[in-house]
Amino acid sequence: MRHLVTASTLAAACCLSLTACTGGSDDRSTPEPSPRPTLRLGQSADTAGVGGRGAARITPDTVVYADRTGFGAPEHGLFAVVTYQSRNRTTSRVTTTAGQGGLRWTTAGGRTVTDRNSKAATGVVPIGFSEGGPALPPEVGHQDVAVFDIAAAERGGTLIYVDGDGTAFRWRIPASDSGAAVPALKFALD
């Protein structure tokens, strides 16, 4: 019987100590948001426009790797060219963060670069895939490209889009040319 009282007393003391350490029973913490799942090519994300104004749907759909293009050679060994669709989901003009460093490439090793990260990458503008930039008129969509100048060993990685609210959306990018527009994009890059 003595062991039961001691065990009960010990359990009560631990609970009181735990309550005192956490600041009492009135302290309610806000749950952390669950991390967003990593998407695949062709999957869409509904994002906020610059400054949190408006809404745009972003859909990366094709990736092509090129060690040389008609626009020049990469400075770091390889271009990773990702096509994506932007669609305004509102009745007013919305601007995506694509032109403000919102698109990034993270390698498997953890290195991150922004879209157009070299002078060579800035010059890659494939005809038919660069339709209009980050500003979208009401209920309109267009296609554009993100170009990353990376090392050949950095094929495959994660495309990150940080929207106007600071929310990061991630897509797993295959290490080989993938997506429905591969032949057309390769032709436009030559």
Give the model confidence (pLDDT) of 36-45 as tens digits. 899 999 999 9
- Residue 35 pLDDT class (50, 70, 90 cuts): low
Nearest to 182 by CA among 99, 41, 85, 63: 63
- Residue 132 pLDDT class (50, 70, 90 cuts): confident
Q: Rounded mean pLDDT of 5-22?
A: 45
Q: What is the pLDDT of residue 36?
A: 80
Q: Alpha carbon of 34 to those of 15, 28, 31, 37, 125: distances in Å?
A: 29, 18, 9, 9, 37
What pTM does this model have? 0.80
Radius of gyration for the alpha carbons in the chain, expressed in angstroms and rounded: 24
